[in-house]
Amino acid sequence: GAVVSQHPSRVICKSGTSVKIECRSLDFQATTMFWYRQFPKQSLMLMATSNEGSKATYEQGVEKDKFLINHASLTLSTLTVTSAHPEDSSFYICSVPLMDIWTDTQYFGPGTRLTVL
Amino acid sequence: GENVEQHPSTLSVQEGDSAVIKCTYSDSASNYFPWYKQELGKGPQLIIDIRSNVGEKKDQRIAVTLNKTAKHFSLHITETQPEDSAVYFCAASDRAGGFKTIFGAGTRLFVKA
């Protein structure tokens, strides 16, 4: 399977600051990456689809100006939470889809725990 | 909109027993059904998947069944071990629909030694 890394694994920040989370596909190029948010004891909610070289596609209800996504290369997508507030505290997970004639599987990163004080 | 329902939300079994988790999906266009295992503080890991042209798939102690007519699919874990304790998510996606995946709410499995 694919190897996906995220950095940082944990971050604590003050309210009003911005936080950048990186998602890297380590062993293959990805034109698409997905960003999810997961609140405690809840399922994964898709926030946006990150597209290399073009604008991200956001799910309904997700503020694109608050959650900035940049997919500058085929191996890196970043999610920036701008002007973070305590309600943005969550577990953010990226995934990389691997699609070929045999498979169409998503591989997830280890997640980033964001705590906004 | 598309929806995936998962039951039960919590499941407790004795080590060595079997565990079954069931899911129902609403989008008839769904054609790919992965199952993920998520341990505390980690990202989900794919454990098994099944495509709509297959009714059953097995990998050692894990098996998945799919009933397309009823839009049901299930995960079966046999001879459970304490390390199987985790949260399990079912999901459904339609590759032709842009690979958007809808996840179930998750099942917290406890395997008691």
* Residues of chain A contacting residue B104, judged by C-beta atoms under 8 Å apart: 43
Q: Which A-chain residues 47-106 have CB contacts (< 8 A) with chain B?
A: 49, 93, 95, 97, 99, 104-106
User: What confidence score (pLDDT) does residue A28 get?
Assistant: 82
CA distances from B16 to A91, B44, B79, B82, B89 (A): 32, 24, 4, 9, 21
Residue in the structure block whose two tokens are 């079912």: B90
Residue-wise pLDDT tens digits, B87-105: 999 999 876 656 678 899 9
Residue-wise pLDDT tens digits, B5-52: 999 999 999 999 999 999 999 988 888 899 999 999 999 999 999 988
User: What confidence score (pLDDT) does residue B94 get?
Assistant: 79
How many contacts, defined by CB atoms under 8 Å, are there between A and B? 50
Residue-wise pLDDT tens digits, A42-51: 999 999 999 9
Instruction: Tell which of B88, B100, B109, B110 to mutate to test the A interface (max A CBs under 10 Å).
Output: B100
Q: Average of pLDDT values for B48-57?
A: 90
* Residues of chain B contacting residue A110, judged by C-beta atoms under 8 Å apart: 42-43
CA distance, residue A109 to nearest chain B CA (Å)? 6
* Residues of chain B contacting residue A5, judged by C-beta atoms under 8 Å apart: none
pLDDT > 90? residue A108: yes
Among B32, B36, B43, beta carbon nearest to A104: B32
